Structure 1
Amino acid sequence: MAGTTMVAAPKSTGGVVGGWRAAALRVEACWRWYRRSWRTTLQASLLQPLLFLGAMGLCFGSQVQPGPTTDGYPYVQYIAPALLVSTVLTTAVAEAGRPVLSSFQWQRDFIAVTATPVTPGQLFAGQLLWIVLRLLIGAVIFLLIGIFLGGWANAMAALAVPVAVLTGAACAAPVAAVAATIRGDGHGLVAINRFVVLPMTLFAGTFFPISALPLAVQPLAWISPLWHGIELARGVTLGGLSVPSAILHIAYLVALLTVGSVVGRRQFHRRLVV
């Protein structure tokens, strides 16, 4: 994250309060950098929903008649929740990948931060909190653009925002953990986007139900965090989501976030201390 302001050392890092305060200082440092470059980021956040919903939802979607495949809704309303989750997930992987690697290897501000009383675990928590804040901003923008383009069936669409943020955070934590292990030019991060994120976007139910896939391929969609996020987002916006299904989807995403956070904290410690 080029130009990120270095976080200052907290007066007290003992206990839970000190830990959260140290993490908040990292968020503040990232926010100060963001205030100088928010216009460029905002342009991308505006263009993505306009292009995706406009091209796939309105242009291509005009050729798709509402029916069982789209749960009886216009195609733009069928894919809007999925595109919201997919866009936020893609942003999460991008924010947790190259910027984290850069802060370790090239910019090296993580090394400077942990020279203060801030621990690697607190630094990881602050970085993840910042990514969540970025995802929230992008998700709200997508929601507003979707309203303008007629992508939402009802006011329950607002619930798709926390679903998308949870899905993005569940992917950001393990990607940040992977980024902490990379010491080369980051080709591994390119592979994640090419061989994990892109296939998830295409085959996790974003544009069509996974029931249209061959039976042998469907289990690959079931283990995808994007599929769980899409099912949740569609369920809260279009209806038809049972309580057991909602609990299962949320539990999967929370478990992935928890495991990613534990591994991420460990990898940050190994990279910065050991």
Structure 2
Amino acid sequence: MARGRTRLPNPLTPLESAERARRFGWWYFAEQVLRQMRVYLVSVIMYSIGTPLAYLLAMGVGLATLVNASAQHQFSGVSYQVFIAPALVASTALMSAAGEFMYPVMDGFKWRRVYYGPYASPLRPEQIAQGHVVAVFLRILLPTVIYYLIVVLFGVAPSPWGWFSVLSASIAAMSFGLPLMAWTATLTKDAGQFALVQRFVVAPLFLFSGTFFPLTQLPWFLQWIGWISPLWHATELGRVFSFGYQEPLWLSLMHAAYLLVLAWLGWVLAQRMFARRLQG
């Protein structure tokens, strides 16, 4: 070997490459999705900073001065800023999931068909779905952490356990996004379904999930929206962690179980729909 020349690692054989893909294919695809996301990483970070600042200044500072003066005892003994902060963290995660589990999934199957190239390799359809989910989870986790840091800087997360609200918000995003991903995998064309989901599913969940006021203040015929909404369950858990919101232990456990079961069902269905679509 010539002096100064570095020895290159022994290349893998085709069988070794295939075996490695079978074992770690989900991460290979997740890495590819994350590399694509780097294109709009700056936008994600700026959105993660701008959105909480806008909401906290408008709702937590502007509106809160009026609410705190007129309804001091309606928000579990804390200020309005402290009350809505966990809901804003959870809603940001859920809205990010709504976008990432619709248009990119349709892009993979229909527009650019980016799922079919990896499927021609030893990767299984389930691994492609798993990799997409892992990448989106990390993409959602980043702005959620940034959002919570800004909440802490505003001084509206008094409990040291408030960090767990980041976890509950991220799980809520998965519990909403994974069933949405499974449904998107069944679509053969975009006929305006995504706009309808944003307008008639995401927006009502944001407004009627106890985000800006306790769910019990809604008329009884609208409270069911909160009961089935992952956002409400994550918001209630976030309030327990952030400022010691008083609720029975069994109810907190029910919130967690609901989110986990819904996320698990979506995880199973998404893999099944990917396999059916790619193998069909």
If the length of structure 1 is used for normalisation, what is the TM-score? 0.91
SS, match of residue 205 in structure 1: coil
Q: Matches of residues 75-224 of structure 1 in structure 2 within 5 Å?
A: 75-185=80-190, 187-224=192-229
Question: 1:147 & 1:52 partners in 2: Cα distance?
Answer: 14
Question: 1:37 & 1:213 partners in 2: Cα distance?
Answer: 38
Residue deviations 1:33-65 (CA, integer Å, cap 9, x gap): 233431122111111111111111111111111
Residue deviations 1:233-267 (CA, integer Å, cap 9, x gap): 11111212432112111111111111111111111
Question: 2:64 & 2:184 partners in 1: Cα distance?
Answer: 37
Asked if structure 2 preserves the Cα contact closer than 8 Å seen for 1:13 and 1:117, the reply is no
Q: Residue type of the partner of 1:55?
A: A
- Structure 2: unaligned runs, 5 residues or longer: 1-15
Q: Matches of residues 227-242 of structure 1 in structure 2 within 5 Å?
A: 227-239=232-244, 240-242=246-248
Q: Residue type of the partner of 1:169?
A: M
Percentage identity across aligned positions?
A: 33
Deviation, structure 1 residue 132: 0.8
Alignment partner of 1:271 is 2:274: no
Deviation, structure 1 residue 207: 0.1
Q: Residue type of the partner of 1:11?
A: A
Q: Residue type of the partner of 2:30?
A: V
Alignment partner of 1:32 is 2:35: yes
SS, match of residue 109 in structure 1: coil
Q: Matches of residues 12-23 of structure 1 in structure 2 within 5 Å?
A: 12=19, 18-19=22-23, 21-23=24-26
Alignment partner of 1:244 is 2:250: yes
Residue deviations 1:189-228 (CA, integer Å, cap 9, x gap): 2111111110011011000001111122212311111111
In the other structure, the counterpart of 2:265 is: 259
Q: Bigger shift: 41-50 or 236-245?
A: 236-245
Q: Matches of residues 53-72 of structure 1 in structure 2 within 5 Å?
A: 53-65=56-68, 67-72=72-77
Question: 1:189 & 1:157 partners in 2: Cα distance?
Answer: 33
Question: 2:243 & 2:35 partners in 1: Cα distance?
Answer: 38
SS, match of residue 150 in structure 1: coil
Query: Runs in 1 of length 4+ with deviation above 6 angstroms?
Result: none
Q: Residue type of the partner of 1:163?
A: S
Alignment length, in residue pairs? Answer: 262
Deviation, structure 1 residue 10: 5.2
If the length of structure 2 is used for normalisation, what is the TM-score? 0.89
Asked if structure 2 preserves the Cα contact closer than 8 Å seen for 1:27 and 1:126, the reply is yes
Question: 1:131 & 1:67 partners in 2: Cα distance?
Answer: 39
Alignment partner of 1:11 is 2:18: yes
Q: Give the direction of change, closer, same or farther, for the CA distance of 1:117–1:42 in structure 2 (3 Å limit).
A: same
Instruction: Give the alignment's Cα RMSD to 1 decimal.
Output: 1.7
Question: 1:194 & 1:147 partners in 2: Cα distance?
Answer: 31
SS, match of residue 164 in structure 1: helix
SS, match of residue 93 in structure 1: helix
Q: Give the direction of change, closer, same or farther, for the CA distance of 1:220–1:261 in structure 2 (3 Å limit).
A: same
Question: 1:200 & 1:37 partners in 2: Cα distance?
Answer: 27
Question: 1:172 & 1:164 partners in 2: Cα distance?
Answer: 12
In the other structure, the counterpart of 2:5 is: none
Q: Residue type of the partner of 1:251?
A: A
Deviation, structure 1 residue 13: 6.0
- Structure 1: unaligned runs, 5 residues or longer: 1-8
